[in-house]
Each structure stands twice: as structure tokens, then as C-alpha cells.
Amino acid sequence: DADVTQTPRNRITKTGKRIMLECSQTKGHDRMYWYRQDPGLGLQLIYYSFDVKDINKGEISDGYSVSRQAQAKFSLSLESAIPNQTALYFCATSDPRDYDEQFFGPGTRLTVL
Amino acid sequence: DQQVKQNSPSLSVQEGRISILNCDYTNSMFDYFLWYKKYPAEGPTFLISISSIKDKNEDGRFTVFLNKSAKHLSLHIVPSQPGDSAVYFCAASAESNYQLIWGAGTKLIIKP
């Protein structure tokens, strides 16, 4: 079984809809991250969490919110989706003793019409 | 302003030859650099890293070189194999900031 899973893998939605992307991990890592990737660009950090009670904004947090329900679960919400949020979204985890090596989920492809 | 740049969107190399992927950065506070590899429909996977106190790190067929004065690093793959065909991302971080800053990636194609 995969160590980092994301659901759904693909989602098409309409402008103005609320969307939640979910991430679960079995690696036992405290640190979790949400990234988005746009064509021709690198990954951009949306939010990160160093433990259940610690949530931090990344480079591009506007229009997004997150919830860390447990050590193993970190969800990303788009409160009112807009077309320029169409992108590939990745969840990642890392061990604080080796924080720079991040382990990624397979990604969620989100299309906002 | 992109702090980490990979100026070659794609690179084509003959199987068995050396692949050299390049990455430039602008932030002198970066002290740790990583390379990730990504296959289609999968998330990136860690490949190799280097600390700013070193100028070279080797792991099997993969070697990363760091030139701090030029703010440049490169990934060498020798010999290149078909399974190396993927997108390679360069990323950097500063000890004072846990965020990774990513380049746009280089698509490596290994020709048979």
C-alpha cells in the first residue's frame, strides 16, 4: 500500500463550488505539506503543518484553507473554486529529523470550469 | 522572481551516455539542495541531495555537483538508462526556513 494517499485522484468542478482534497499517510511523519503544480512551473507551497496544532501559510495560500484532523490526515479546501485554481495538487510528508526529504502522494488533478 | 531556475525544459540523451541536468539559484541563504524525479501520474520522489558545505555528492549512477560561487548545481547520470526518462526537479531550502523552493523541472528523454 502507498505511504501517502490522496483522494480524489481527479476532480472536475464548477466555479464557486467548495472542494475538499484529502491526504492520508502511514509514514508516521509529523510534518505535512500541500503543493500545487501548474504547467511549466515548479511546485508551489500552499500550506504546511508541523504537527496537529501547527498550521502555516505557504507561498500561495490565498483562496485555500487546510485542516489537520490527525497526525495522519491533512485536508485542503477550496472554499469557492475559481478557474485559475485548475492545477495538479500534491500532498507530502517529512520527518523532522530529515525534514528536507519529502515523500509525495500521487497527486490530484483538479479542473475548475 | 524565480529563486530556483532550470533553464532547459527538456533534454534528450542517448542510452548509455551521460545526462547532465542544470539548476541555478539566486538566494545565497540556500544551504541545502535536492533533486527529485517525477514519472507521469506519480508524485515526485527524492533522488539525491547536497549540503552547501560540500561540492559533490555521489549515489550510484547519480552525482550532484555544487558550485556556490556560481550559484549553480548539476545532476550527472552515468550511464543513462531508459528508466531515467522522467521530469527532474531541483529544489533548495535555507536552514532558517523549512520551505522548499522548486525549479520548473527538466524533462529527460533517454533514447534507445
pLDDT at residue B23 in the model: 98
Residues in chain A closer than 8 A to B44 (CB atoms)? 43, 90, 104
What's the CA gap between A1 and B43, in Å, rounded?
A: 15
Q: What is the mean pLDDT of residues B52-77?
A: 97
pLDDT band at A22 (very low <50, low <70, confident <90, very high): very high
Cβ of B49 within 8 Å of Cβ of A100? The answer is yes
Q: Determine contact: B100 vs chain A, CB below 8 A.
A: yes
Distances (CA, A) of B47 to A39, B18, B58, B76, B85: 22, 17, 11, 12, 14
Closest residue of chain A to B46, computed from CA coordinates: A101
Distances (CA, A) of B55 to B33, B67, B69: 11, 6, 11
Closest residue of chain B to A38, computed from CA coordinates: B104
Residues in chain A closer than 8 A to B93 (CB atoms)? 100
Residues B93, A32, B49, B15: is their CA dihedral positive or negative?
A: negative
Task: List, for residues B14-61, the tens digit of each pLDDT value.
Answer: 999 999 999 999 999 999 999 999 999 899 999 999 999 999 999 999
Q: CA-CA-CA-CA torsion for A42, A43, A45, A50, nearest 10 degrees? A: -130
